[in-house]
Amino acid sequence: MELTKRQQQVLDFIRRHIEEEGMSPSVREICAHFGLSAPAGVHRILRTLQDKGLLVSTPGKKRSWRLSQRARQWSGGCRLPLVGQIAAGVPIEARENLIEELPVDAAALFGRDPCFALYVQGDSMIDAHITDGDIAVIQQCDDVDDGEIAAVLVEGVLHEATLKIVKKQRSCIELHAANPAYAPMVFKGEEIASVRIVGRLAGIIRRNR
């Protein structure tokens, strides 16, 4: 099933709206959610999803869009939340809002521990074959072994996230890039408490771009 990013986002929004509100969203609500001013584009997406057999509706009835059985079988239980962006260079502010849900069965691919996904930004992990624009699948945990790649929050003025190789020393924690152009980030003494493991890297999803 080939869907554009926006088509997938609209389909996910309709499904969540039905689950939470008991009814499908109106075209105006879809426009408002995605910050669109004209409904024509939303109507085109809805028609495309209908043509693909993922949405059905009752002609002449408002708020009648609903997921087809094909859509429920295709996405049910196999959704990986894409919740924001993570830096592969210097830390950037973590955006923990849900962006979309990817049609990926994370449990089958990465095990039963909860997973989420984050966009990678930057080139500091290129020697680990992780590039700008990749989607990092993160398996939630609060500790990793020495040498593992992890998503790490550095707490301070901002809650910041970065994807790095974690090196554990007796007196410090080091976050290493997989690119010699970047120096290690070293945290000693009281600074160690500001470093929090969000989860280990379970895999990378690379979209066509």
- State whether 40 and 116 are in the same domain: no
Pick the catalytic residue from 52, 64, 164, 167. 164
Domain tally, the chain: 2
Which residues span the domain enclosing 150? Answer: 80-205
What pLDDT score does 74 carry?
Answer: 56
- State whether 59 and 121 are in the same domain: no
Picking from 104, 163, 90, the residue whose alpha carbon sits closest to that of residue 130 is: 163
- State whether 146 and 109 are in the same domain: yes
Residue 3 sits at the vertex; the CA angle it makes with 123 and 101, to the nearest 5 degrees, is 65
Average pLDDT, integer, range 2-30: 86
Band (85; pLDDT cuts 50, 70, 90): confident
Q: Which of 36, 56, 75 is the last residue of a domain?
A: 75
Report the amino acid identity of residue 81: P
Q: What is the CATH number of the domain that holds 175?
A: 2.10.109.10
> Rounded mean pLDDT of the chain?
83
- State whether 106 and 168 are in the same domain: yes
Q: Which of 75, 105, 136 is the last residue of a domain?
A: 75
Of the candidate ranges 3-12, 126-135, 165-174, the one whose mean pLDDT is the lowest:
3-12
pTM value? 0.61
pLDDT single digits (tens) 42-64: 999 999 999 988 899 877 777 78
Q: Which of 75, 108, 131 is the last residue of a domain?
A: 75
- State whether 175 and 106 are in the same domain: yes
Pick the catalytic residue from 62, 124, 167, 168. 124
- State whether 17 and 70 are in the same domain: yes
**Known active-site residue 171:** no
- State whether 38 and 59 are in the same domain: yes
- State whether 71 and 84 are in the same domain: no
**Known active-site residue 164:** yes
What pLDDT score does 158 carry?
Answer: 42
- State whether 28 and 45 are in the same domain: yes
- State whether 137 and 184 are in the same domain: yes
Average pLDDT, integer, range 167-185: 94
- State whether 19 and 119 are in the same domain: no
